[in-house]
Amino acid sequence: MLTPPPPHDYMPKGMIRDHLQWSAAGVAGSEVRDELARHLGEISRYAGGLILEAVKRGFSVYRKPDGSSYTDADVEAERFILEALAAHFPNIPVIAEEQSAARAEAGESAAPVSDIFFLVDPLDGTRDFTSGGLEYTVNIAAIVNGAPVAGAVYAPANDLLWIGGAHAYTTTIAPYAAPPEFEDWRAIHTRIAPQEGLTALGSRRHGDGRTQEFLARLPIRKRLSTSSSVKFCVIAQGEADVYPRFGPTMEWDTAAGDAVLRAAGGSVVDEKGFSLVYGQSRNGYVNGPFIAWGDSAQSHMYCG
């Protein structure tokens, strides 16, 4: 069984916390954001390796009080991510899915955050994961003043990694492989909405009437279904145009994919066309309805 090294052993050179000149007054510079995104990608890869190890040995499935499921893999991946973030960013709070679920089960309110924090979903798409699907992801995002300024989405079953800081990139890389070189990354960008019609993405396992009503208003040429944060990344790399979601989601479900999509030129907005805002602790970090667009100009036409 492969074992990932301690967090400090894979820290990319030059990426030390002193480089993060974050402040509540402004977002870090583009070079720092890209470097942070690469670092979050490294953490997500190693967490993905732990998930694959759980698949090999077998894992147990548990139920939360709200009826949703989690597994040993969720817990182990989140523990690793929290340790890695604490090692390099000890003064920045983290909101993570399983940690938040434990607080809720204990009757505690959602943990508050400052203007700078991380959002973590250690295994997005658990239902797909437990049924043998391959589209589950590890999601990590850095939030400054309510906006995702850097994020990483890793699909360990497919060795696919997407990152977004000031720019968006993707690469194919195994969980415990050496860090990718510059030439291994491919820059990705969203596309202008095709005149012949839009390609819409929907959840493979979640649907609701309001989402279908919204899609009925659009000039849809093709519909595709996929799971987890992969949907944001497909739009980010110019292979689809819109992903509406009016059913319930949590901030850790969307923040990393949102970071990648924004960095690629897209947007994630609410029904009125305003950018999705993160850090809503009073709401328990529950998202409202949102629409992810590849061509941001479309949001002005169909939102508001």
What pTM, to 2 d.p., does this model score? Answer: 0.91
Residue linked to tokens 């998202």:
287
pLDDT of residue 128: 83
Query: Using an 8 Å Cβ cutoff, are 256 and 182 in contact?
Result: no
Query: Using an 8 Å Cβ cutoff, are 236 and 164 in contact?
Result: yes
pLDDT of 225 strictly over 50: yes
Least confident of 14-23, 196-205, 227-236: 14-23
Query: Using an 8 Å Cβ cutoff, are 116 and 144 in contact?
Result: yes
What is the residue-wise DSSP string for the chain?
A: ---PPPGGGGPPTT--GGG---BTTBPPPHHHHHHHHHHHHHHHHHHHHHHHHHHHH---EEE-TTS-EEEHHHHHHHHHHHHHHHHH-TTS-EEEHHHHHHHHHTTPPPPP--SEEEEEEEEE-HHHHHTT-S--EEEEEEEETTEEEEEEEEETTTTEEEEESSSEEEEE--TTSPPPPGGG-EE----PPPTT-EEEEEESS---HHHHHHHHTS-EEEEEEE-TTHHHHHHHTTS--EEEE-S--BHHHHHHHHHHHHHTT-EEE-TTSPBP----GGGTSB---EEEESSTHHHHHH--
Percent of the chain with pLDDT over 90: 55
Average pLDDT of the residues in 156-169: 96
148 burial level (CB within 10 Å; 0-12, 13-18, 19+): buried
Name 5's Cβ contacts closer than 8 Å, sequence gap at least 6. 46
Q: What is the pLDDT of residues 188-197, one digit of tens each?
A: 999 999 999 9
Average pLDDT of the residues in 121-149: 90
pLDDT of residue 219: 94
Q: What is the pLDDT of residues 57-70, one digit of tens each?
A: 888 777 776 667 77
pLDDT of residue 19: 44
Q: What is the pLDDT of residues 134-144, one digit of tens each?
A: 889 999 999 98
Average pLDDT of the residues in 71-77: 90
Distance CA 202, CA 223 (A): 7
Least confident of 103-107, 123-127, 167-171, 222-226: 103-107
CA atoms within 13 A on the CB side of 120: 31
Average pLDDT value for the chain: 86
Average pLDDT of the residues in 233-254: 95
Distance CA 3, CA 11 (A): 16
Confidence of residue 282 (pLDDT cuts 50, 70, 90): confident
In the chain, the domains with their CATH numbers are: 7-187 (3.30.540.10), 198-302 (3.40.190.80)
Confidence of residue 129 (pLDDT cuts 50, 70, 90): confident
pLDDT of residue 12: 46
Confidence of residue 155 (pLDDT cuts 50, 70, 90): very high
pLDDT of 164 strictly over 80: yes
pLDDT of 286 strictly over 70: yes
For residue 128, the tally of other CB atoms under 10 A from its CB is 22
φ and ψ at residue 127, rounded to 5 degrees? -65, -40
